[in-house]
């Protein structure tokens, strides 16, 4: 009897210890105000098939993309210096394409209101073209890519005093660059597909007096044949979860297990949700005041790189890391042969 209750007690205490540890962890500094070359608008964390990590606002330029991992350096400069890059995504190349091409990435250009396609060739030539553009676009913000179909889903937002439906939305670009608006919404920002590409996650926020008063994540069913979405369902409403509706949702990424990792640009946190809407982990960033975006990369694809404005110097962009046990969705697809 006593043995049994002791065992239960031990099990219970181990369990609560595990949960407490899981729920609240701290990230580690990677680029600090002392060594970062990124500006305060650092955004668009992305990964290529080698696990290299990139972000925007290198050397304080909105038209410059820099490399974060394995070493800090210039990666790409737009041929138009009015470009203001935000979300970035690398495409998966076929074996044949790899003979002549090093990498292809798409970048949302907020100012020029398009999605730009950049091809880096093995012979060091660079080609920059418009991948898709439509009059209905509103400051394209972030991109989600269906690797199976080549379709791109786009969020966008006009940050106004009082958000109206139509200040943001959801757009779809077909692989041939044909663009169309799927939904008219409040401000949309974080966007991601589940590993099986059958679920689309999209954030939506509303302002009053320029202050967010609502922040939600929606989920939709995706028809993998024609890319259409349906069954809009509430995934998380931060007013209900923890009254943090004032903290904007920014970049979102899935890991291979289908958990959704969400940056909160407003409280410096990253949250991990299971596909069935459970909050599994709260990450407090060590040195970022406004967490803007995130992506898994590094050697094994399981290091989470989180970017945003530095806590100790708001004029610079910092990077924190967190070691996860599983790789990200993008890394796992890009490295799969
Ligand atoms: C996690 O830790 C931070 C910093 O110690 C604290 O502010 C926050 O309230 C904690 N959150 C939870 C859910 O325990
Ligand atoms: C970017 O601008 C900030 C503010 O002016 C400055 O402190 C920082 O050194 C600049 N970074 C680079 C790499 O030039
Ligand atoms: C740069 O982009 C802007 C906005 O799209 C356009 O008006 C301008 O002509 C472009 N400049 C060049 C040199 O292509
Ligand atoms: C953004 O909102 C402002 C204020 O309502 C409006 O003047 C502007 O045209 C909007 N921009 C876009 C791209 O919709
Ligand atoms: C936002 O709009 C409201 C209503 O038009 C106005 O009263 C308020 O002053 C505006 N807020 C700011 C910060 O401009
Ligand atoms: C990557 O995987 C190897 C082999 O499993 C392991 O030894 C190493 O610690 C991992 N590195 C990171 C950064 O997780």
d(CA 118, CA 123): 15
State whether the beta carbon of 164 lies less than 6 angstroms from ligand 5: no
pLDDT at 7 over 70: no
pLDDT at 131 over 50: yes
Nearest-ligand number for the alpha carbon of 83: 3
Give the lowest-confidence range in 9-18, 105-114, 154-163, 244-253: 9-18
* Residue 23 confidence class, pLDDT cut points 50, 70, 90: confident
Distance from Cα 68 to the centre of ligand 6, integer Å: 19
- Which has the closest alpha carbon to 287: 322, 256, 258? 322
Protein residue whose Cα sits closest to atom 8 of ligand 1: 24
> Which of 31, 39, 64, 309 is the best mutation target for the ligand 2 pocket, counting ligand atoms within 8 Å of the beta carbon and taking the most?
39
Distance from Cα 218 to the centre of ligand 4, integer Å: 24
pLDDT at res. 205: 98
State whether the beta carbon of 210 lies less than 6 angstroms from ligand 5: yes
Q: What is the residue-wise DSSP string for 201-233?
A: EEEEEEEETTEEEEEEEEEEEE-TTT--EEEEE
State whether the beta carbon of 17 lies less than 6 angstroms from ligand 5: no
pLDDT at 13 over 60: no
Protein residue whose Cα sits closest to atom 4 of ligand 2: 315
Around 258, how many Cα atoms within 13 Å sit in the side-chain half-sphere?
Answer: 13
Nearest-ligand number for the alpha carbon of 282: 1
Distance from Cα 207 to the centre of ligand 4, integer Å: 14
Mean pLDDT on 297-322: 98
Q: Of the CATH numbers 1.10.10.10, 2.60.40.3680, 2.120.10.30, 3.40.30.10, which one belongs to the domain with range 26-335?
A: 2.120.10.30
State whether the beta carbon of 72 lies less than 6 angstroms from ligand 6: no
* Residue 337 confidence class, pLDDT cut points 50, 70, 90: confident
Q: What is the tens place of the pLDDT at every residue in 210-259?
A: 999 999 999 999 999 999 999 999 999 999 999 999 999 999 999 999 99
Angle at 28 (CA atoms; ends 55, 194), nearest 5 degrees: 55
Give the CA distances from residue 119 to residues 98, 127, 131, in Å, rounded to whole numbers and listed in that order: 11, 5, 11
Question: Is 142 within 8 Å of 86 (Cβ atoms)?
Answer: yes
Distance from Cα 300 to the centre of ligand 6, integer Å: 6
pTM, to two decimals: 0.92
In the chain, where the domains are located: 26-335
Q: Give the helix, strand, coil percentages of the chain, each rounded to 5.
A: 10, 50, 35
Protein residue whose Cα sits closest to atom 8 of ligand 4: 158
Token code pair at residue 158: 């006009």
- Which has the closest alpha carbon to 107: 79, 137, 140? 140
Residue 319 backbone phi and psi in degrees, to 5: -130, 130
Q: What is the tens place of the pLDDT at every residue in 49-62?
A: 999 999 999 999 99
Distance from Cα 80 to the centre of ligand 3, integer Å: 6
Which atom of ligand 2 approaches the CA of 39 most closely?
1
Give the CA distances from residue 190 to residues 141, 202, 271, in Å, rounded to whole numbers and listed in that order: 8, 6, 13
State whether the beta carbon of 284 lies less than 6 angstroms from ligand 1: yes
Give the CA distances from residue 90 to residues 198, 249, 271, 279, 296, in Å, rounded to whole numbers and listed in that order: 20, 22, 24, 28, 13
Distance from Cα 109 to the centre of ligand 3, integer Å: 12
DSSP 94: P
Place of tokens 């790789």: 327
Which atom of ligand 5 approaches the CA of 210 most closely?
13
> Which of 108, 160, 181, 207 is the best mutation target for the ligand 4 pocket, counting ligand atoms within 8 Å of the beta carbon and taking the most?
160
Place of tokens 């798409």: 106
- Return the number of other C-beta atoms located less than 10 Å from residue 82's C-beta: 10
State whether the beta carbon of 326 lies less than 6 angstroms from ligand 6: no
């Amino acid at each position: 009897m006593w043995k049994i209750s002791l065992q239960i007690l031990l099990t219970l205490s181990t369990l609560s210890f595990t949960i407490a540890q899981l729920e609240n962890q701290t990230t580690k500094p990677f680029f600090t105000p002392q060594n970062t070359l990124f500006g305060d608008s650092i955004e668009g964390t992305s990964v290529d098939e080698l696990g290299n990590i990139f972000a925007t606002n290198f050397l304080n330029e909105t038209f410059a993309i820099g490399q974060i991992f394995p070493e800090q350096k210039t990666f790409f400069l737009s041929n138009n210096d009015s470009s203001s890059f935000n979300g970035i995504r690398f495409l998966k190349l076929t074996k044949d394409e790899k003979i002549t091409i090093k990498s292809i990435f798409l970048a949302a250009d907020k100012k020029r209101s398009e999605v730009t396609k950049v091809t880096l060739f093995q012979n060091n030539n660079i080609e920059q073209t418009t991948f898709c553009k439509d009059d209905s676009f509103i400051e394209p913000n972030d991109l989600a890519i269906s690797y199976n179909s080549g379709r791109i889903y786009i969020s966008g937002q006009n940050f106004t005093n009082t958000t109206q439906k139509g200040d943001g939305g959801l757009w779809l670009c077909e692989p041939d660059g044909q663009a169309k608006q799927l939904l008219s919404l409040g401000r949309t920002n974080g966007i991601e597909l589940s590993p099986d590409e059958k679920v689309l996650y999209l954030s939506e926020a509303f302002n009053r007096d320029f202050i967010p008063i609502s922040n939600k994540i929606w989920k939709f069913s995706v028809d993998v044949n024609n890319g259409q979405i349906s069954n809009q369902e509430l995934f998380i409403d931060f007013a209900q979860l923890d009254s943090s509706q004032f903290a904007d949702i920014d970049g979102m990424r899935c890991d291979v297990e289908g958990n959704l990792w969400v940056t909160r640009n407003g409280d410096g946190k990253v949250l991990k949700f299971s596909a069935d809407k459970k909050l599994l982990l709260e990450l407090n960033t060590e040195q970022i005041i406004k967490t803007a975006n995130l992506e898994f990369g590094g050697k094994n694809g399981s290091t989470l790189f989180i970017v945003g404005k530095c806590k100790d110097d708001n004029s610079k962009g910092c990077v924190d890391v967190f070691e996860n046990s599983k790789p990200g969705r993008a890394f796992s697809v890009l490295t799969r042969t």
